[in-house]
Amino acid sequence: MQKTEPFQHGKYYHIYNRGINNSKLFYEDENYNYFLKLYNTHVSPAVDTFAYCLMKNHFHLLIRIKEEDQILTQPIKPPHQYFSNLFNAYTKAINKKYDRNSSLFQRTFKRKVIDSEAYLKNVILYINTNPAHHKLAVNYINYKWSSYSESISDDFTNLQKDQVLEWFGDKENFKSSHENKLNTVDIENYLEL
């Protein structure tokens, strides 16, 4: 079994996981909403979120683990515990609602350290366009469970969209970067999907 490196405060990570045996994580719209609600409760106090995409059987997140003095919960837990609490709470809710009694997520959730700005930007593009890549949506722009539309919206959100847009230069460059063909094979090979 491959050893997972512990999270480090202040570092950026691409987090991803899928349903056990490729099974569904989300059965209906209210499941996606509930997952995001739990994410805001359990994970957001300890991380900054830059991109996300939830799909029927897997999800992707781009996050930065906050420095210990920025974490909004007391006592401060090890960073992986915030994610474990999310997955456990969501699994319990899905098992109860759909009369299940087993694991929902593959163990252990995957994480990759973001080690360059180029990789950071490519991961944002990959995450936001993932629904089109997996043919879940004709157009990623209108996909409901991705951070793309939130990133370009003027509405308040917990997403660190100002920082995201700054990495791309501005909103127009952010949009045009998404229109270019992304080499998803290189990213997926790196992620070992």
Per-residue pLDDT of the chain (193 residues; tens, 9 = 90+): 456 778 999 999 999 999 998 899 999 999 999 999 999 999 999 999 999 999 999 999 999 999 999 987 778 899 999 999 999 999 999 999 999 998 999 878 899 999 998 889 999 999 999 887 655 555 788 889 999 999 999 999 899 999 999 999 999 999 999 887 665 555 555 555 4
Task: Report the candidate in 57, 147, 22, 43 with the shortest Cα–Cα distance to residue 89.
Answer: 43
> Domain segments of the chain: what residues?
12-191
The pTM of the full predicted model, rounded to 2 decimals, is: 0.90
Buried b (16+ CB within 10 A) or exposed e, 96-124: eeeeeeeebbbeebbbbebeeeebbbbbb
Which pair of tokens denotes residue 86? 């999310």
Q: Using the 8-state DSSP alphabet, how is residue 189 labeled?
A: H
CATH topology of domain 12-191: Alpha-Beta Plaits (3.30.70)
- Residues 129, 179 contacting (CB under 8 angstroms): no
